[in-house]
Amino acid sequence: MKKLAIALSLIVAVFSAATPSSAADDVIRFGVAAEPYAPFSVKDASGNWQGWEIDLMNVVCKEMKAKCEIVDIAWDGIIPALLAKKFDVIWSSMSITDKRKEVIDFTDKYYYSPNVLVGAKADTRQFDVTKPETFKGVAVAAQSASLQATYLQDKFNGIAEMKIYPTLDDEIADIQAGRVDLMAAAGIQIQDFLKKPEGQAYEIKVTLPHEKMFGYGDGAGLRKEDTALRDRLNAALKAVRASGEYDTITKRYFDFDIYGD
């Protein structure tokens, strides 16, 4: 009997070691673009992620009672990395669009930002997207793989001088250096730069029209088969909005509503 009990104990121990607990299984990996995107996601001096989107992720994970981990990934490869299962959720200010929905699924939106063109206050030229000729010879910067880049290339190809950059920081550096006249950005996100001393010489010149290609707000991207995770995230997002936690987080970073209609 004693030998049988020992044998059974060994079997249980081996099985337990080979089968993680449900708590250990409940780890959700959030893919965040490695490039700084203040005030949504940026690393502090210690290399820790912080920002509005990170704070929202933390309360959403708390609501789901899940352990969440951040995986850094380059923006222009973020969808292929999701599909390759390098992480589980794109949590990086990704606009929900019909084109992207052909490849991946999305949660409900968690904020909305208009798209804008920023230029120097000293530049008195009038830019009008309904009059492409007003962009003739104008150097315009946009981030690679962004909706703004797609829009501008579609509307002003052969008219404006398009310059594509890996990150928004690169756009900002070149407009400050005088190498571009305008830079494209999300309206909410660019507020962080415009409020800084180095941004005081710049302003929003154009708010791009809300065309269908710009989508339905920004949300979390998931693999199409991960419907259960999508539903959990949607339920958690709804709960943190209803509880007031969403507004509490938002007030730390913005003095206006970023959710929209």
Nearest to 93 by CA among 37, 150, 168, 169: 37
As a whole number, mean pLDDT of residues 208-229 equals: 94
**The pLDDT of residue 252:** 94
**The pLDDT of residue 19:** 36
**The pLDDT of residue 25:** 59
Q: Check pLDDT > 60 for residue 179.
A: yes
pLDDT tens digits for 115-168? 999 999 999 999 999 999 999 999 999 999 899 999 999 999 999 999 999 999
**The pLDDT of residue 211:** 86
**The pLDDT of residue 213:** 87
As a whole number, mean pLDDT of residues 221-228 equals: 98
Q: Check pLDDT > 50 for residue 2.
A: no
pLDDT tens digits for 32-59? 999 999 899 999 999 999 999 999 999 9
pLDDT tens digits for 65-95? 999 999 999 999 999 999 999 999 999 999 9
- Tell me if 118 sits within 8 A of 190, measured CB to CB: yes
Cβ-based burial of 239 (10 A; exposed 0-12, middle 13-18, buried ≥19): middle
